[in-house]
Amino acid sequence: MGFNSFTFILVFLPVLMIGWHALNRLQKYTVADVLLIIMSLYFYYTFGVNFLIILSVSIGVNYALSAVLKKIDSRNTTDSNIHKKLIKIIGVLFNLGLLFYFKYLGFFADNLNVVFKTGLTVDKIIMPIGISFFTFGQISYIVDRANGEAPHYSFVEYTLYTAYFPKLIQGPIAFHKEMIDQFRDKSLRTYDSVKFSAGIISFVLGLSKKVILADVLSKIVNYGFEQTYYLDTLTVIAVMLAYTFQIYFDFSGYCDMANGISLMLGYRLPTNFNSPYKAASAKELWQRWHMTLSRFFIKYVYIPLGGSRKGRYRTIANVLIVFILSGLWHGAGWTYVCWGLMQGLLVVWDDLGIVSTEKEGKFLFRKEPLLVIPKALGRAMTFIAFVASLIFFRSESVEKALAMFRRLFFFTWPGFLTRTAANLDIAENYVFRQFLSQMGGIDENVIYMITMVTYLAVSGFIITRKNTEEIIETTTFDKKTLIGITVLFLWSFISLSAVSTFIYFQF
């Protein structure tokens, strides 16, 4: 049961909202929390009972470790710091071990077999949805708890923080204080019509991004990557643009929907997506894309490694380590490692200060850049580099990724463009195709091409406009907005012919 399903929209969400706001109005705050926990666990249960068991064990173990830390604090002996460090190590190893088993064990065994010519076999392990997200959230808590930066919360508070369903399966990776402080604030439990209306707008905009744009663009993307060895240059460009927009609207759409649900409940999730394709450098892009993952790696990996405090070359190494780990976080495969390394190298390139859109900045080897370029050119170059890097991100293997690069840079024209565009012959585009066919004299293949170009052009236009957070900050829920949101919702709802998963579910 995803956010983009009939059951969620027609049953789960209305029941939750009615129960939540009714209980809070009666000042039954603990009961309301328990209701939200039960609904969150049920939401996760719909993806598989085994997943729920794993999540429950994870919560139980981490909370138990926090309880042990509480006992250590109460004793306040000379060995307390040593014991805290030991619990921190146990906690981190437990969480990483859980993640390793379900996400990386098969990948690790395969590579051992290749390097050492062994015959290790690993039965297929089904990875729990969202394990990377709730595991990283709990790592942050255990580390902060052991470092004296977090209290021992009640079991209800900790379970609600970890299992809170809007962020459970695709983030953001919220820190404990960000959410639990809100859960404790009784003033946020009073129904706020302005916040609730903003939540509806955010949810509908996110749903439309996912259903109307991302899911349709996926038709082009899936076909293109299935035909990697046969594509021509122009088709590779079209497919990669489609994927670049698909992953944007898919992830952005989920963030908007999660944010919208939280606003309807009275809470705000940390911003996780802030128009990354408007970035004028790779460094800025990663300050806008999956922002909570970036700050996790900065706080718990980059800074402990020394950050930028131990010299220029150590700084470069630390940046590359963080981005390689970020690549591996996204998936157990060498394609993700290559993608992460490519992103890291682009960020290092920005730090070198050879080319920049800023006249001054903190560069590794100079105070001023050698060449200053306009921001518009910087945005274009950053966007193109990111599109190219996504070839690794989406490809099934490094071999197929390199084949895609060859098709891109060595011009060919066998004519796959129209066949790729023909994948947009779907029910959602029926009216548009009929409109074009009524104009007379237009070949069917031309109609498909126009449809594809229209989707790419509309997608390119939307990413240059205000993002959803900017829209809800400046939009009043008047009659005009109500009509627009209603039309968009009905269009999205009608398009829910087949419930598709979000791309980041697999991470």
CA angle 22, 272, 255 (to 5 degrees): 50
- Say if CB 273 and CB 368 are below 8 A apart: no
SS3 327: helix
- Mark whether 330 is an active-site residue: yes
DSSP 175-242: -HHHHHHHHH-GGGGS--HHHHHHHHHHHHHHHHIIIIIIHHHHHHHHHHHHTGGG--HHHHHHHHHH
Hunting for tokens 């953001």 — which residue is that? 172
CA distance 363 to 406: 34
Nearest to 122 by CA among 140, 141, 108: 108
Token readout for 74 is: 């109460």
Q: What are the C-alpha distances in Å from 215 to residues 302, 424, 447?
A: 35, 11, 20
Answer for the pair 347, 286: CB distance below 8 angstroms, yes or no. Answer: yes
Kindly report the number of other CB atoms within 10 A of residue 327's CB atom.
24
Q: Which residues contact 221 (CB under 8 A, 6 or more apart)?
A: 239, 242, 243, 246, 394
Question: Using N-to-C axis directions, what is the helix angle for 29-45 and 49-75, rounded to 10°?
Answer: 130
State the catalytic residue, choosing from 21, 176, 290, 330: 330
Residue type, 39: M
Strands (E), 104-171: none
Closest among 316, 317, 318, 339 to 327, alpha carbons compared: 339
SS (H, E, C) 63-96: HHHHHHHHHHHHHCCCCHHHHHHHHHHHHHHHHH
- Is the peptide bond prior to 172 cis by the omega test (within 30 degrees of 0)? yes
Q: Say which amino acid occupies 387.
A: V
CA 334, 326, 261, 467 torsion-angle sign: negative
Using only the alpha carbons of the chain, give its radius of gyration. 24
One-letter amino acid for residue 6 of the chain: F
- Residues with a catalytic annotation lie at 330
